[in-house]
Amino acid sequence: MATISLPMWVTLILGALGAGWIDAVIGGGGLILIPLLMATLPGLAPVTVLATNKVAAVSGTASAAVTMVRRVRPNPRRLLIYAPLAGICSALGASVAAMVNKDTMRPLIILLLLAVGIFVALKPSFGTTPAAGSNLSTTRLGLAILGVGFIGFYDGIFGPGTGMFLIMVLTAALTQDFLTSAAMTKVINTATNIGALSVFIIGGHVWWSLALILAIANIAGAQLGARTVLGGGAKLVRWALLGLVVVMVCYLSYQQWGGLG
């Protein structure tokens, strides 16, 4: 493994702290930490970067999940179904990730992100109303299960925007507010990260000494982020979601077409 100097350590730790905060607020911390790892340690294999980032991400997300679930208290029976399902689907996605052409997927994800952003912008009441009761139709519950399974697979195979897509699916299918969906998403996203990480661990791709230090920083950032969300409520999640749409569309568009000109 490469030698890491003190300035590099400081940069990576601060990056993991910021990524943890962003992940807890809305998701997308990988947009910070993965490019930072690649820039700071250019000789590191991409799969090692992804695996090491997953250790930090799962630690921070799990920490935020505990904090948010204690306050928001989403339906535990649903989480017992959604979380394992998402984890299994994520592991399946990670196992076939190498076969997927990312250049083909990016334009589709960009279009989906734009659709999400437009919908949320034009429906200001969506996700800001109090959570509905527990009497939901079988169709809605089934749609939630299908959506969670599909997004879990997507997280393993590609990943960007997983948390945001989960919030949207859970809010729409279960007719609940963004804050409740965000708390559920943290638990489900922890499971998807564990599912994908298990594949990386079996393959021996994790740089553990680096990953564990970044995980500590990510947890600290995630705790700050979780408290930010709980203080800001559903309206903060809505604005954070719209902001993430803009950032991710720009980021994925640059990856897809930035080299053309």
* Confidence (pLDDT) at 126: 87
User: What single letter denotes the amino acid at residue 123?
Assistant: K
Residues of the chain with pLDDT under 70: 1, 98, 130-134, 259-261
What lies within 8 Å, CB to CB, of 44 at 6+ separation is 1, 2, 37, 38, 207
* Confidence (pLDDT) at 130: 63
* Confidence (pLDDT) at 131: 55
- Report the distance separating Cα 27 and Cα 14, nearest Å: 17
Domain boundaries, the chain: 6-257
Burial class (CB in 10 A: 0-12, 13-18, 19+), 4: middle
* Confidence (pLDDT) at 169: 94
Burial class (CB in 10 A: 0-12, 13-18, 19+), 40: middle
* Confidence (pLDDT) at 261: 42
**Nearest alpha carbon to residue 192 among 53, 48, 89, 72:** 89
Q: Which two tokens stand for residue 157?
A: 């195979």
CB contact at 8 A, 90 and 236: no
* Confidence (pLDDT) at 86: 94
* Confidence (pLDDT) at 133: 54
Q: Which two tokens stand for residue 54?
A: 């997953």
* Confidence (pLDDT) at 95: 84
**What's the whole-model pTM score?**
0.85
* Confidence (pLDDT) at 132: 54
